[in-house]
Structure 1
Amino acid sequence: MFRSIRWKFITIYFLLVFIAMVIVGVFIIQQFEGYHLGVVSENLTRIARLNLLPNVEKIGDLDANRKEIQDIIGKASINEEIIVVNRNFKIIASSNDSLLDRNIVDIVDEQLITDGFLGQIAEKDSLIKNRDTVINVKNMVFPIKAANGDIQGVLYLRSDLSDIYATLRKSTIILTQATVLALLITVVLGFLIARSVTEPITDVTVKAAKMAKGDFDQVVEVKSDDEIGQLANMFNYLTEKLKDTLSEISSEKSKMETILNYMADGLIAVNLQGEVIHANPSARRMLSLSRDALIQEPYDDFIGELNKKLTLAYLDEHNPDWMGSEILRVNDSIYQANFAPFKDEKGDKAGIVMVLQDITERQKLDNMRKEFVANVSHELKTPLTSIKSYTETLLEGALENREMAEQFLRVINSEADRMARLVRDLLQLSSLDYKQVKWNKKDADLVQIVKNSVFKLDMTAKNKKQKMTLITSEDKMMGYFDSDRIEQVILNVLTNAIKYTPDGGEIKVFLERVDNQSIVRVRDNGIGIPKEDLPRLFERFYRVDKARSREMGGTGLGLSIAKQIIEAHEGRIWIESVYGEGTEVIIQLPLEEKACVMGI
């Protein structure tokens, strides 16, 4: 209960009022008691000095005039008890006849009588037991002097204080009742005051708790202009600022999460304990790991299998800066891992951030570039070597032998044609790459183009005792083509089929329409292509059997050119083959007329 500030307020108010009332009550009772006791003392002193002492001292010898002294006491007519004591401590006169001739020491305090005989006016409050009651009394003694100034006795006065103490008790009860009433009022007022103070604080506390749970639409009602009102105003101001800040943070977080989730590069963040604290989808895809695997498996375990130089243990020992770049190979992919540390608010390293970039295509293109340069060099070197060797032979005297000279010149001419074909193909590829080809697209009949291509190569096939057949149910198939380029592609495909089909083989050409698409299939029963070579067939200078291809006069660029021409017509070309059984080349071309002529 006392953990509540409301009850603390009430307790403090209660104690303050209680202490104040006790102090005031004790002070009043003490002052009241002192005042009344003082009044009694003054009355007794006045009675003694004005009425009794002068008359008693005027008589003279106390023992000899006992009767006269008793008469003086009887005439005093007061309620106080009066006793006259001689030097022998014997009572010679008293308002209470039962006390005559008794020793005063047996009745009152001896010290008090002694002080009287010493010439002092003394007083003392005491208690007298009267049957079943105890009475408070005030005792006073006054010295009785003789004519010569000697003290011949004492006058003892005793006043009943019962009424005074009864009044004091009544006053105490009244003050106690007033204190209780004041305390009750204090508790009620303290509760109301405490509630007026604590209700806004409780409201702020409740709404702050809701804010802690994520509900920031909290407004505290401002009921005053005091400190509590200022607290409410500051809470509302804080709420607005917090909402704005959190909204901005949420927006930035959303942007960052979107960027991280949809960025092509993989990103991994790891803390010092080797726990993956973030990994975007690209990183999980690159490493072929699920979200649970990344979170549960220690970073050093799975990254160490790929490249131990990226483990935290290795970096601690060999790379204190935790910055650098390494290559990761995962299955058939190659990734470049760039890493750097992230730091905490003190500037100490808190972990490592790694960005994974897929450089598979870049590496592949780099390899293709190197291979392309090597192939071009080789393709040019072979005919140039032949031309040079035959030319040198002719210059050394072979010209005199006409038959030999003609044979050498035919070889030189053939090699020059081979170089010309290579240069022509390279120039055509370059034009296609740099979109410099002038396309002569117009309405054309694909059936006629295919028939012309088959007709042109039919004799070549027959020379190898091959059977070439065109199979189609279409009489006409109009489309928007560059007829010469499409014919070049079909001739290239048919030429390859003739080259790589043994003598006596069969080549079938299928032409069909599927919706608004034309499908040309060139199928042979030749040597086929190994499965691992199929993805690279459209690469420049790529040959499955390099030596045999060169013997057959191929440059290795035909399919690359064919692919670019077909794609320029928004079509597709692909190859399906079973090694040792045959090959099928499929060309798909749209038949719809385009809104504009495409120029590359």
Structure 2
Amino acid sequence: MNNKLFRRIFIIYAVIVLIAGFFTEIYITSTVRDNYIGNLREHLAGESRLIANDLSFDRKNLDGFCKEIKDKIHARVTIILSDGKVVGDSDRESATMDNHSNRTEIEQAANFGAGMVIRYSDTFKYDFLYVATQVTQNGIDKGFIRLAVPLRDVDHSINLLRVKIILVVLIVLLVTWGVSVWQTDHLRRLLRQIVDFSRSLSKGEIEKRLFLKEAGEFTEIADNLTAMSVKLQEMMARSEEEKNRLNVILRSVPDALLIIDARGRVALSSTSVRDFFGDVYAAGARFAEVVRNHEFTALIEKVREDRAAGMAQFTIESPSEKFLAVRVSPLFYGKDELSGFVAVFHDITEIKKLEQVRKDFVANVSHELKTPITAIKGFADTLLDGALVDRENAVRFIETIRSNSERINALVDDLMTISKIELGVIKVEKTLTDVQGVFDNVAELFKTKAVAKNLFLSIAADSSFPQVEADKNRLLQILTNLVDNAIKFTESGGVTFGIDRGSDGRPFLFVEDTGIGVPAKFLPRLGERFFRVDPARSRKMGGTGLGLAIVKHLVKAHGWSMKVESVQGKGTKVKITL
């Protein structure tokens, strides 16, 4: 091992010491200077107040008065009138001096009663501290007394202090360097032995041993490394065997897999376990904490008792609802000794959903067809039994048969439409479509129907969207179904449809009515095949229960999204975001 590591450590500490010394020097010198200047300021302010007690601005030869004061307090004294005129100074003839009203210390004193400033003197080439005090006699502001002292001695003392601090820092660096050189050499020898030994272990030379003399804390490291080398070969062999076995198992199982030991704890899990059961840490946990289902627990116990594989199906709710099929097999590492279980999970959610959809579809179609077919058969039998001679009733019976046959035909047409959309037979070909023309066609189709129910039918279109990317015929079919539904379930008020802009700036089509509305609990089911909020009312109006399902499929085929907002008794609004 070379000296680079220890050189870097020494350089880091040296830099730290230098930075610490630099900021310490700045802090100490700044604090000392500020304290000295603060004390000097308070002293000069006190002197100013004492001078003000004996000062008369009417006195002649104020220059001489200032010189007498300077001899006593060893500070330059200047007397200034309220307008800034200098009437007395200890160092210069006051008559030759400029107006001082714009001096910083005088402005501060005029505003606050006292002022202080440090100003560099171009004449003397060092800073001066100026302290000004406002003089008030009999409630009248007479002027100012300004005292000034040089800061040359202060700066000289600060420089001496700075030199001392630098010397201390240098001494610390020299001592640190000497100690680090000695300690570095000792540590380098110990680390060299440890590195050589660890390198031998990495090469597979496990038979070597490590002995350190006068190593201090490194002795425990050497002992641990030596003990590790004794057991490493055995552990490596066992680990390799386990690794090969588990890799074979994991590669052969495509679904979620848990290997559970005889105590009921998970020894190994496949990566897909998280997809099935959420973000759980399976390794080492009890299987019941990973798969929280009593049916699975019962299956494990049954396999434990029977020593034979078993299967079960169950449902989990978290992290999402899933239907799972699981096969649990006993695991034997030794003869007739149960070592654990292998559980393989298959997600059959989609299969279950498809089965349920098929059952619901068959049930709904059967139910929808049974009523009109029964009506047709009943009235046909009535006619055959002699009602044909009763012309008035015969016509009514035939009209009923025709109405029910039309209902069956509409149902079949809607089913064919949905099937064609799902199979891709009906394709959506988007082009730039004039939405106003589509709106006018829909309004013309339902104008008579709306007037018959005394409902208004209005178009509300945002002029900034004259055209949209859509299949014109399918767009017309979507709006036709939605407006037809709105008129059917509206008894007063009317229906408004058109296009508008959302809060996010995206356009959306809408159909809004003032009808009976939909209870909140039924909103998620709107768009399901054959779902009706009020089955009797819907069938009476001739609905098949597939209108919204067709709309939902066409909207999805366009790549749009649909949302239904409704308040029971107030109306419904369907929004299709483009």
TM-score, normalising length from structure 1? 0.51
1:203–1:374: structure 2 CA closer, same or farther, 3 Å change rule?
closer
CA distance in 2, matches of 1:398, 1:213: 108
CA distance in 2, matches of 1:575, 1:212: 70
User: Which of the numbers 196, 199, 202 marks the counterpart of 1:210?
Assistant: 202
Q: How far apart are 1:282 and its partner, in Å?
A: 5.1
CA distance in 1, matches of 2:249, 2:417: 46
Q: How far apart are 1:547 and its partner, in Å?
A: 2.5
CA distance in 2, matches of 1:555, 1:279: 50
CA contact (8 A) 2:288 2:297 kept: no
| Aligned twin of 1:464 | 453
| Aligned twin of 1:567 | 556
CA contact (8 A) 1:576 1:583 kept: yes
CA contact (8 A) 2:315 2:324 kept: yes
- Written as runs of structure 1 = structure 2, the 5 A alignment for 1:443-462 is 443-462=432-451
Post-superposition CA distance 1:237-262 (Å, at most 9, x none): xx9xx9xx98xx79x969969x99xx
CA distance in 2, matches of 1:363, 1:580: 37
| Aligned twin of 1:313 | 301
CA distance in 2, matches of 1:388, 1:267: 57
| Aligned twin of 2:314 | 327
1:575–1:301: structure 2 CA closer, same or farther, 3 Å change rule?
same
May I ask how many residue pairs the two structures share in their alignment? 354
| Aligned twin of 1:509 | 497
| Aligned twin of 2:263 | 273
Find the residue that maps to 1:369 and give its secondary structure.
helix
Find the residue that maps to 2:294 and give its secondary structure.
coil
- Written as runs of structure 1 = structure 2, the 5 A alignment for 1:459-498 is 459-474=448-463, 477-498=466-487
Unaligned runs of 5+ in 1: 1-201, 215-238, 590-600
TM-score, normalising length from structure 2? 0.53
| Aligned twin of 2:522 | 533
CA contact (8 A) 2:333 2:339 kept: no
| Aligned twin of 1:403 | 392
CA distance in 1, matches of 2:360, 2:531: 9
CA distance in 1, matches of 2:427, 2:285: 58
| Aligned twin of 1:357 | 346
CA contact (8 A) 1:303 1:311 kept: no
| Aligned twin of 1:298 | 286
CA contact (8 A) 1:304 1:310 kept: no
Q: How far apart are 1:364 and its partner, in Å?
A: 2.5
Q: How far apart are 1:488 and its partner, in Å?
A: 1.0
CA contact (8 A) 2:266 2:286 kept: yes
Post-superposition CA distance 1:46-71 (Å, at most 9, x none): xxxxxxxxxxxxxxxxxxxxxxxxxx
Deviates more, 1:379-388 or 1:473-482: 473-482
Post-superposition CA distance 1:33-52 (Å, at most 9, x none): xxxxxxxxxxxxxxxxxxxx
CA contact (8 A) 2:300 2:328 kept: no
Q: How far apart are 1:525 and its partner, in Å?
A: 3.5
CA distance in 2, matches of 1:421, 1:278: 57
Q: How far apart are 1:470 and its partner, in Å?
A: 2.0
1:311–1:211: structure 2 CA closer, same or farther, 3 Å change rule?
farther
CA contact (8 A) 1:277 1:295 kept: yes
User: Which of the numbers 360, 373, 393 marks the counterpart of 1:371?
Assistant: 360
Q: How far apart are 1:577 and its partner, in Å?
A: 3.0
Q: How far apart are 1:491 and its partner, in Å?
A: 0.9
CA distance in 2, matches of 1:302, 1:408: 65
CA distance in 2, matches of 1:464, 1:529: 20
Q: How far apart are 1:335 and its partner, in Å?
A: 2.2
1:430–1:275: structure 2 CA closer, same or farther, 3 Å change rule?
same
Q: How far apart are 1:408 and its partner, in Å?
A: 1.1
Q: Percent identity?
A: 32
Deviates more, 1:526-535 or 1:384-393: 526-535
Q: How far apart are 1:417 and its partner, in Å?
A: 0.9
Letter in 2 for 1:322: A
Letter in 1 for 2:308: D
CA contact (8 A) 2:322 2:348 kept: yes
1:268–1:461: structure 2 CA closer, same or farther, 3 Å change rule?
farther
- Written as runs of structure 1 = structure 2, the 5 A alignment for 1:109-128 is none
1:320–1:455: structure 2 CA closer, same or farther, 3 Å change rule?
same
CA distance in 1, matches of 2:512, 2:248: 54
CA contact (8 A) 1:512 1:519 kept: yes
Q: How far apart are 1:281 and its partner, in Å?
A: 6.5
| Aligned twin of 1:428 | 417
CA distance in 1, matches of 2:564, 2:423: 26
Unaligned runs of 5+ in 2: 1-193, 207-232
| Aligned twin of 1:127 | none
| Aligned twin of 1:173 | none
CA contact (8 A) 2:304 2:330 kept: no
CA distance in 1, matches of 2:304, 2:332: 18
Q: How far apart are 1:273 and its partner, in Å?
A: 1.1
